[in-house]
């Protein structure tokens, strides 16, 4: 039906068509155009008539009628050409529709208000395991796992209540097959009949769900394993503390006993020969005290290792407390505590611009302190030491680089750098080999990463990235 607002457009189209027909009639159309053919009197039209009619009709009126008929014929031919062109475009559009709709990698289907399928594309039919024609009038609930049908009901209810697109994930059942996961994205639409229909896009997400479930299982196993390792480390560390305390206690007792023994046997030693006195003096004043000192030193070192293991096991439990940090000030405080070592090595430390960030102070202090301490301790005594600290924001991440011109790390020792209880380089540097292991664990726990570049005899640069908030 032509509405009132359509009439002006129709009038313009008719006028334009008449103008084009006039041009063709005057011979302006291209000779090859099918609308420029010679006018033929339509069959059944008699322009001879009786002599009375011819006499009554003027020549001018006859010419006008012939001209009008010819224009009508041209208009009809032009309209036929337009219809053929539109028909060709419709055929092309239909082919595109088939490619986009039926051969889409996702399923499309429409459900009426009674839950019956009204139409579906080939992908939906393949997913549901039924011919497309056979899907029509089938209840959609037939293809939904019973325990998930409530999800579909709530999905349709939200569509009706909000009149906005909604999404849901549920399990459908292929005819004669196993359940599979889908993501449904639905909209509600009105059709000419008046009743609303539900249009759904169906994507098979079974592989994604299976991968997520496998990842979740792996994560749970890893979490359980990590917790067991932490518990074992904690219990073992506590169990080892008792014997260590006993070792040191008995060492102290042995020292006192050795001193008493020396006083008691001294009169007898004075009666020994010179060679015997020298042997007794070596045993009582050198060998036994050295052995006790070695036991005591080893017990102290063992205590440090136990403390380091405890600290490493507890890093995963530390919950960061974000606070405003001036990194330049924090680095200055750490360098002040390292002042004697820096001065003893004649090193020059350069602190380049460092941003203010919102981050966990305990974590940041542990990370910077360990890396800076290593940089100082592993300086090459053969040349003046230089250390440089610089940092910047890269998006939402903090990037910090700490460089030194120290001894460097040999290629064969690089795998030891972040390994617990592994030492790198000369044995003249004190430590238990736990510092960088703790640093790496702390950085990973907070979603960052740490790496290094090193060349023996040239120096080392440690870099780390941490997600932080930049004020």
Concatenating the DSSP letter of every residue in 271-329 gives TS-HHHHHHHHHIIIIIHHHHHHHHHHHHHHHHHHHHHHHHHHHHTTPPP-EEEEEHHH
Phi, psi angle pair for 262, to nearest 5°? -60, -40
Phi, psi angle pair for 390, to nearest 5°? -145, 150
Q: What is the model's pLDDT at position 252?
A: 86
Domain end marker among 102, 130, 157: 102
Tell me: pLDDT of 1 over 60.
no
CATH code for the domain of 127: 3.30.450.20
Residues with Cβ within 8 Å of residue 374, at least 6 apart in sequence: 435, 436, 462
Q: What is the model's pLDDT at position 413?
A: 87
Q: Across residues 106-119, what is the average pLDDT? A: 92
Say whether both 297 and 277 belong to one domain. Answer: yes
Q: What is the pLDDT of residues 136-192, one digit of tens each?
A: 999 999 999 999 999 999 999 999 899 899 999 999 998 877 899 999 999 998 877
Say whether both 376 and 459 belong to one domain. Answer: yes
- Alpha-carbon gap, residue 268 to 284, rounded angstroms: 13
Say whether both 442 and 339 belong to one domain. Answer: yes
In a domain, 283, yes or no: yes
Say whether both 289 and 302 belong to one domain. Answer: yes
In a domain, 350, yes or no: yes
Q: Across residues 52-70, what is the average pLDDT? A: 68
Domain end marker among 315, 340, 374: 315
Q: What is the model's pLDDT at position 309?
A: 66
In the 3-class helix/strand/coil scheme, how is 176-244 assigned residue by residue?
A: CCCEEEEEEEEEEEECCCCCEEEEEEEEECHHHHHHHHHHHHHHHHHHHHHHHHHHHHHHHHHHHHHHH
Tell me: pLDDT of 441 over 50.
yes
Q: What is the mean pLDDT of the chain?
A: 81
CB 146 within 8 A of CB 136: no
CB 386 within 8 A of CB 348: yes
CATH code for the domain of 460: 3.30.565.10
CA angle 396, 402, 403 (to 5 degrees): 140
Say whether both 147 and 191 belong to one domain. Answer: yes
Tell me: pLDDT of 430 over 70.
no
CB 384 within 8 A of CB 431: no
Pick the closest to residue 400 from 354, 446, 331, 366 (CA basis). Answer: 354
Residues with Cβ within 8 Å of residue 402, at least 6 apart in sequence: 368, 371, 372, 375, 387, 388, 389, 461, 462, 463
In a domain, 230, yes or no: yes
The percent of residues above 90 in pLDDT, for the chain, comes to 33
Q: What is the model's pLDDT at position 245?
A: 78
Q: What is the model's pLDDT at position 449?
A: 93
Domain end marker among 273, 297, 315: 315
Say whether both 353 and 439 belong to one domain. Answer: yes
- Alpha-carbon gap, residue 216 to 440, rounded angstroms: 24
Give whichever of 270-279, 403-412, 416-425 has the largest mean pLDDT.
403-412
In a domain, 73, yes or no: yes
Q: Which two tokens stand for residue 265?
A: 């046997």
Do β-strands 166-173 and 179-190 pair in parallel, antiparallel, or remain unpaired?
antiparallel
Our count of domains for the chain comes to 4
In a domain, 384, yes or no: yes
Q: What is the model's pLDDT at position 9?
A: 63
Tell me: pLDDT of 105 over 80.
yes
Q: Across residues 29-37, what is the average pLDDT? A: 42
- Alpha-carbon gap, residue 172 to 144, rounded angstroms: 4
DSSP three-state, residue 446? coil
Tell me: pLDDT of 39 over 50.
no
Give whichever of 42-56, 284-298, 456-470 has the largest mean pLDDT.
456-470
- Alpha-carbon gap, residue 138 to 119, rounded angstroms: 10
Decide which of 190 and 425 is more confident.
190
Decide which of 267 and 300 is more confident.
267
Give the torsion through C-alpha atoms of 344, 345, 348, 349, to 10 deg.
Answer: -80
Say whether both 226 and 359 belong to one domain. Answer: no
Say whether both 52 and 123 belong to one domain. Answer: no
The percent of residues above 70 in pLDDT, for the chain, comes to 79
Q: What is the model's pLDDT at position 290?
A: 86
In a domain, 413, yes or no: yes
**CA-derived radius of gyration, the chain:** 46
In a domain, 209, yes or no: no
- Alpha-carbon gap, residue 77 to 82, rounded angstroms: 9
Instruction: Give Dmax (Cα) for the chain.
Output: 179
Q: What is the pLDDT of residues 350-391, one digit of tens each?
A: 999 999 999 888 889 889 988 998 999 889 888 899 999 999
Say whether both 97 and 117 belong to one domain. Answer: no
Q: Across residues 19-29, what is the average pLDDT? A: 63
In a domain, 267, yes or no: yes
Q: What is the model's pLDDT at position 85?
A: 82
Say whether both 71 and 141 belong to one domain. Answer: no
Q: What is the pLDDT of residues 383-409, one digit of tens each?
A: 899 999 999 998 889 999 999 999 898
Q: Across residues 10-29, what is the average pLDDT? A: 64
User: Which structural domain, as residue segments, surrounds residue 191?
Assistant: 107-204
| 140 beta partners | none
Say whether both 131 and 67 belong to one domain. Answer: no
Phi, psi angle pair for 120, to nearest 5°? -160, 150
Q: What is the pLDDT of residues 308-361, one digit of tens each?
A: 667 666 665 667 788 899 999 999 999 988 888 898 888 999 999 999 999 888
Say whether both 351 and 452 belong to one domain. Answer: yes
Q: How confident is the model at residue 18 (pLDDT cuts 50, 70, 90)?
A: low
């Amino acid at each position: 039906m032509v509405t009132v607002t359509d009439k002006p457009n129709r009038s313009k189209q008719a006028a334009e068509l008449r103008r084009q027909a006039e041009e063709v009639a005057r011979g302006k159309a291209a000779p090859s155009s099918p609308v420029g053919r010679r006018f033929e009197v339509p069959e059944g039209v008699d322009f001879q008539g009786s002599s009375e009619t011819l006499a009554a009709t003027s020549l001018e009126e006859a010419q006008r009628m012939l001209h009008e008929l010819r224009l009508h014929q041209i208009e009809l031919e032009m309209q036929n050409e337009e219809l053929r062109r539109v028909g060709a475009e419709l055929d092309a559009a239909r082919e595109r529709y088939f490619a986009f709709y039926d051969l889409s990698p996702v399923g499309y289907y429409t459900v009426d208000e009674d839950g019956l399928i009204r139409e579906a594309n080939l992908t939906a039919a393949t997913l549901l395991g039924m011919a497309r024609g056979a899907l029509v009038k089938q209840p959609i609930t037939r293809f939904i796992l019973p325990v998930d049908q409530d999800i579909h009901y709530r999905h349709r209810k939200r569509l009706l209540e909000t009149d906005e697109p909604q999404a849901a994930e549920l399990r459908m059942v292929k005819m004669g097959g196993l359940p599979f996961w889908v993501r449904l994205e639905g909209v509600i639409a009105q059709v000419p009949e008046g009743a609303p229909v539900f249009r759904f896009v169906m994507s098979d997400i079974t592989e994604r769900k299976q991968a997520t479930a496998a990842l979740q299982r792996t994560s749970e196993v890893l979490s359980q394993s990590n917790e067991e390792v932490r518990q074992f480390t904690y219990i073992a560390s506590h169990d080892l503390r008792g014997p260590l305390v006993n070792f040191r206690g008995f060492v102290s007792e042995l020292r006192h006993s050795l001193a008493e023994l020396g006083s008691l046997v001294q009169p007898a030693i004075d009666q020994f020969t010179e060679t015997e006195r020298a042997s007794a003096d070596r045993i009582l004043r050198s060998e036994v005290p050295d052995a006790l000192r070695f036991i005591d030193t080893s017990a102290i070192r063992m205590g440090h290792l136990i403390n380091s293991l405890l600290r490493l096991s507890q890093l995963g439990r530390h919950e960061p407390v974000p606070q405003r940090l001036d990194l330049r000030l924090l680095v200055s405080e750490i360098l002040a505590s390292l002042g004697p070592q820096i001065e003893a090595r004649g090193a020059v430390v350069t602190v380049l611009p460092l941003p203010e960030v919102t981050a966990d102070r305990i974590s940041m202090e542990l990370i910077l302190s360990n890396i800076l301490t290593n940089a100082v301790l592993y300086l090459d005594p053969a040349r003046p030491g230089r250390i440089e600290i610089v940092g910047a924001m890269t998006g939402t991440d903090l990037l910090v680089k700490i460089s030194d011109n120290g001894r460097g790390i040999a290629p064969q020792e690089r795998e030891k750098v972040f390994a617990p209880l592994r030492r790198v380089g000369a044995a003249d540097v004190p430590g238990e080999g736990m510092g960088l292991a703790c640093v790496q664990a702390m950085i990973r726990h907070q979603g960052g990463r740490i790496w290094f570049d090193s060349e023996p005899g040239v120096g080392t640069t440690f870099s780390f990235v941490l997600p932080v908030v930049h004020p």
